[in-house]
Amino acid sequence: MEYLIQYSDRFIDGTIITIQLLVTSSIIGLAIAVPMALARVSRNPLLAGGAYVYIYILRGTPLLVQLYLVYFGLGQFEAVRESVFWPILRDEYWCGMIGLTLNTSAYVAEILRGGIMGVPHGEVEAARAAGMSQALMYRRIILPKAFRIAWPAYGNEVILLLKGSALVSTITVLDLMGVTRTVFSRSYSLDLFLYAAILYFVMTFVLTRVFRMIERHLNRHLQDREQIEKRTAAQAA
């Protein structure tokens, strides 16, 4: 407890940075994943092929390698160092953000692709019969249904992203794991990693509860239908 009390401010700051990385990379990653998923199911071979290569490469390589390539690799090019993006790309925090965002966007795009493919064909045909355009059909029918189907898997991906965010400490980002490693190098107390594990567990527990609440809200019409069917069956009996 001595080290925990002594470095409590740093642990709090590290936890805040971890949450910032998680929230920001999840939002931006989802924004990238939606068009990638649409391109993945497109009949245009160029769009589908480009999205497939993007997803395949990012899902097929470790997150740690991707972080190293962004943080250490981009700085090797003189054109990058002389560009307007260099103030961002030389900062370890933003490099960690970019690495997490690109990684999660590939996984979420594939999750959404599965959700889109899982939309019942009858609903799509009904939308076409009603005279909906392709864009309107995706906006009103396909994407809302796909998000409901993909929501549990998306929640799992966000939780995996939270745990994967600990890898940004390897590029000197002082997130929760980065602070833990720094304090451990001074104290050599293994209890610090136990405290970090507890904090990660608490954040995971909260995320799990939040996603379950949202899932129940998204599927509340199904729960109402089940209650009506049970009531009807009880009356018929």
Supply the pLDDT for residue 5. Answer: 77
CATH number assigned to the domain with residue range 2-236, chosen from the 4 options 3.40.718.10, 1.10.3720.10, 1.20.120.10, 1.20.1290.10: 1.10.3720.10
The SS3 assignment for 120 reads coil
Supply the pLDDT for residue 127. Answer: 87
DSSP 237: -
Q: What is the pLDDT of residues 54-109, one digit of tens each?
A: 999 999 999 999 999 999 998 888 988 898 989 999 999 999 999 999 999 999 99
> Which of 69, 89, 71 shows the shortest CA–CA distance to 79?
89
> Which residue bears the tokens 């599927």?
219
Q: What is the pLDDT of residues 34-56, one digit of tens each?
A: 999 999 999 999 999 999 999 99
Q: In which band, very low, low, confident or very high, does the pLDDT at 128 lie, cut at 50, 70 and 90?
A: confident
Supply the pLDDT for residue 8. Answer: 84
Please say if the pLDDT value at position 224 is more than 60.
no
> Which of 177, 175, 172, 202 shows the shortest CA–CA distance to 18?
175
Q: DSSP for 65-85?
A: HHHHIIIIIGGG-HHHHTSTT
Q: What is the pLDDT of residues 141-196, one digit of tens each?
A: 999 999 999 999 999 999 999 999 999 999 989 999 999 999 888 888 888 899 99
Angle at 74 between CA 70 and CA 75, to 5 degrees: 120
**What is the rounded distance in angstroms from the CA atom of residue 204 to the CA atom of residue 58?**
24
Mean pLDDT comparison of 20-34, 116-130, 207-221, highest-scoring range: 20-34
Please say if the pLDDT value at position 236 is more than 60.
no
Query: Which residues, 6+ apart, have CB-to-CB distance to 82 below 8 Å?
Result: none
Are 60 and 102 in contact by the 8 Å Cβ rule? The answer is: no
- pTM (2 d.p.): 0.90
Q: In which band, very low, low, confident or very high, does the pLDDT at 218 lie, cut at 50, 70 and 90?
A: confident
Supply the pLDDT for residue 228. Answer: 54
The SS3 assignment for 119 reads coil
Q: Which amino acid is at 214?
A: I
Domain boundaries, the chain: 2-236
Angle at 162 between CA 155 and CA 86, to 5 degrees: 120
Q: What is the largest CA-CA distance in the chain?
A: 78
